[in-house]
Amino acid sequence: MQDLYHEKTVDAQVRAAAALLRQSRRVVLGAHPLMDGDAVGSMFTLVHALRAAGKEVLAVTQDGGSGKYEFLQDGIELCALEKLPPALSGYDTAVILDVGAQSRA
């Protein structure tokens, strides 16, 4: 079994994720329900970084907003999960942030 926490393995995974994001044109971002400060901060930071790199980004929330962290949005529009089209055609990458288990996504 591969040691996922081995330094070289993690480094390779980070490099692969960065390469994927560099190649992407349109990215969907999401996080766990009831986003806390870690989820909101991660999402908004990645939105800004991807947009600065010329990517189109759709930030999705399962709860309709960023709650008490709304002051951090800085012009970022959040799309409620229930308002997404059935197929996200044209988006080539999806990133789910701040989840420790697939069941939290």
Tokens for 36, please give them.
Answer: 């806390």
pLDDT at 90: 87
Dist. CA 83–CA 64, nearest whole Å: 9
Residue-range domain boundaries for the chain: 25-104
Dist. CA 89–CA 74, nearest whole Å: 27
pLDDT in tens, 26-79: 999 999 888 888 999 999 999 999 999 999 999 999 887 767 777 787 888 888
